[in-house]
Structure formats: C-alpha cells, structure tokens
Structure 1
C-alpha cells in the first residue's frame, strides 16, 4: 500500500489529502474522491493573447492536463468543470467544444460537463480553468504504488509552446486513451504526466514519492529541464523484468519511448 493510500484508509472520512498536485478524500469504506485542476491564461484567439491558439485546441489541451493526471492516479473521471474568462459567443463556445471533445475521449458524457463564461465584462485576453472530479478505490489507486527498484521510461515527446508547434492530435504526444491503454500493460505500475517543471524534476518527484533514489542515464533524448507543456509526455514506472517488453509495446503504439534511468 502506498503512503497516500495508508493515510486515506486510516484517517477519518472527508479528511483532505494532497499528493502530486491532486486532492483526495475518502467518502466511504473504499470510495475515494480525486480532484485535479489546471489553468491557462494568455493563450487563445483574443487580441491580447501572448500565444495565438484556436479555441477548440485550447479547450482540448486545457481539459487534457487534469484528465491525464486523474487517469495516471488510477481514478475514473466523473465530472468536468470549465470556467472561462471570456464571453460564450463567439469566443467561448469553440473552447467549450474542445473541452467536450476531450471529455468524451476520457469517457465523460456531455451532460457531465459544466462550467461558466464571463458575459458581463468585455475581455481582451483569454483565460480558462478546468477542474475534474473523479472516483477511485484503494484497489485502483496508483499514486506512490511503485516501490524501488524500478525503471523509469519516458512515453511521448515532451513539448511546450511557443518553442514547439503542435496540436492535440500530434502523433508523438500523450493522449488520455493512450495513457489508459499503457497503464494496462503488464509491468507498468505507475505513471506521472510531465508538466512545466520539466522532465528531471518529475523524475525526482517520482523517486521521492516512492521513497527511493533517482539514477538517471547519461544519454537523454531531450534536455533534462524540458517542459512537458500540456502534459505531452509522461514518466512510467516499470518493473525491471518487464522493461524490454514494455519498451517494445510502447514503440508499437507509434509514440516515442525512451529508458531514462531507474529508482533504487
């Protein structure tokens, strides 16, 4: 059992716990609520946005980040909430359409997607926050279940705008269905989506949660501080005896995968 699971099981119901930017609380003997959120500002179609992004693309990436975090945690998304700082028409609806599309990919029906727009005050730049509420059990919870020694694999290519140009359907980046499929591979025990803190920082965070020491290979396919932007890649904790098989299966998905090192 992971440290997080132990705290959830032994603590009182509704006591709030945090781990890796997610919030957890137990509501029954074996029912856990998991909450993830993310925000974007200055990206979008408004005249003062620093990075021009089409509405549907913004909505998909804004929803994808917390959805990936939820799936990596071993939870099932139940509700998606989008809060926009722009008017619904004409700017907001295309963003909402992107959120709805990403939610559908994660198995969340449109009636379980809700939110709000800013229709009282004119805005000149775009902002959006997305919150995902999910459910898990002690059997499905994956955060911190990896125990040293295990191998660390990078799945997907870490990219971040504006240095990198990519869309939500870029063949090298992570998607919610792709991560869910990989977590079912024999030997993959845990996943950690890579955010703006960079690949090596997430590697260290994975080791810290596991109570181990990170050992990084010398040869990496990217800079160690490369941002994952909207979680375009993830770290996978893989049992040593399954490393070769997992790398082969990851390559068969069409997305890149590299062995970065291990946690001991």
Structure 2
C-alpha cells in the first residue's frame, strides 16, 4: 500500500515503511545558459537539504540519496555531488554508503539540471493530527528566497537543527516551509487536527505569504514545556524561533 504525507510517499513493507521524497531544479548554477547564477556546489546542497528535510520532519530515518544529474561529470556533476556529500555529513550519513546516482555521459551541456531522491525508513506510520485547541505553533528559521539564500546564513533552518528538533518528544509535529509560504503550511498542519491556525497580531502578512525557497524555515507545534527545550536548541545552533500563533476551532 502506498500513501502520501505532503511531498513524501510512504510504502508499507512487512515490518516498516519505506519513505521517498525528492527535489529538482534547472537553469540555476554556473553554466552559460543558467538564469540564476550560483556556485554549482550550492545546487547539490539545496537539492539534498530539501529532500532530506521532508523525511526528517516526519521523524523518518534517511538512509540513501540518489542524484539524477542531467550534466556531465566534469566539472558540473562532481561539484553538485560535492554539495550533496557535504549535506549528508551534517547529519552523520556516510556518502560512501548513502549516496548513489547517475549523470550525463554523452553530451556536454550548457544549462544546469539536476534532481535528488531521498529514501528512508520508519517503523510505524508517522504520527499526525496531534494538535489540540489552544496548541501553540512556532517558526524555526526565517523564510528567504532567491538571492537572499546564503547557506552559511544562521537565520536559515538546516539539516542539523531540524534533525535535533525532531528528537524532542515535546515537539509534536514539524512541517518544512517552501514556496507556498508560512500561511499555507500552517493551514496544512492545523487541518491534520481539524483546526485552523490563528496568527498573532504582531506576525506580519508579508512574512506569512513570503516564499521560503528551499525549505529555509520549518513550522512546529509544542506545549509550554517544549518551547523552553526548543529555545535552548535554537541558541545552540544560533537559529531564530518565532511564536506564530495558536490552533483554534474557529475565530
């Protein structure tokens, strides 16, 4: 049986679930015809970060990343792979065993194009719909997009910080924010519990509708005890945490 949670497919096996997530991009890189110029290694880092974060947010253990590169190995392919390896190491995955894939062997390309598929396993189906009326939801990281995205920027959620967030039992659910923005993903999270998100008055509309690009922030739910633990984690990783609001039945 195959089911879906957000952008993650879950395949029921005999004793566990196999989870699959993916991401892709094109015309972003250092090649002649690329529309957005960024270092090629950045491409590999962003692709793998997005796909892996989807799994980690559901407390799925990543085990393998598959790169599907539409460029020649030298120089573009190897630079993308270097970026992927760098992200894998941040969550203690060994690239020698946790990375495979393919690239374009025959044609010299003039535009960057690449995809990544991440696979992981989980013993039980992810726990969803854990919200209740009055439950608080928060933001880790700040939404950024396009030229705002600097992977060294401590304002961005990253794999190590989200991985540690997922280990806190008081944190009930996590959802990465991408191009749809905070408001849309908060609705998804609340709807799992048949609730709606009520945002605090000091949270600006501009923040709520802004694209978060390559999962530059995540929304999470927790109680009053949990947020203290999260703030300690955020301080350790120098990540911003913002109280967004509460789940309600109606307003």
Shorter-chain TM-score above 0.5: yes
Residue equivalent to 2:188: 205
Residue equivalent to 1:245: 228
CA gap of 1:244–1:97, structure 2 versus 1, over 3 A, is closer
**One of 210, 216, 219 as aligned partner of 2:202:** 219
**One of 66, 74, 85 as aligned partner of 1:81:** 66
Residues 107-256 of structure 1: matches in 2 within 5 Å?
107-110=92-95, 111-138=97-124, 141-142=126-127, 144-149=128-133, 150-162=135-147, 164=148, 166-220=149-203, 223-239=207-223, 241-242=224-225, 245-246=228-229, 248-253=231-236, 254-256=238-240
What is the Cα deviation at residue 72 of structure 1? 0.5
Partner-residue secondary structure (3-state), 1:74: coil
Partner Cα separation in structure 1 for residue 54 and residue 198 of structure 2: 24
> Within the alignment, does 1:260 sit opposite 2:216 as a pair?
no
Kept in 2: contact 1:55–1:91 (CA 8 A): yes
What is the Cα deviation at residue 146 of structure 1? 2.1
Kept in 1: contact 2:143–2:207 (CA 8 A): no
Partner Cα separation in structure 1 for residue 231 and residue 239 of structure 2: 11
Partner-residue secondary structure (3-state), 1:203: helix
Partner Cα separation in structure 2 for residue 250 and residue 109 of structure 1: 24
Given the two structures, how large is their TM-score scaled by the length of structure 1? 0.87
Count how many residue pairs are aligned between Structure 1 and Structure 2.
244
Partner-residue secondary structure (3-state), 1:223: helix
Kept in 2: contact 1:250–1:256 (CA 8 A): no
Q: For structure 1, which runs of at least 5 residues remain unmatched after alignment?
A: 1-14
Residue equivalent to 1:72: 57
Q: CA RMSD in A?
A: 1.7
Kept in 2: contact 1:188–1:246 (CA 8 A): no
Partner-residue secondary structure (3-state), 2:120: strand
Q: For structure 2, which runs of at least 5 residues remain unmatched after alignment?
A: none
Residue equivalent to 1:6: none
Partner Cα separation in structure 2 for residue 108 and residue 245 of structure 1: 29
What is the Cα deviation at residue 85 of structure 1? 1.2
Residue equivalent to 1:3: none
What is the Cα deviation at residue 195 of structure 1? 0.7
Given the two structures, how large is their TM-score scaled by the length of structure 2? 0.91
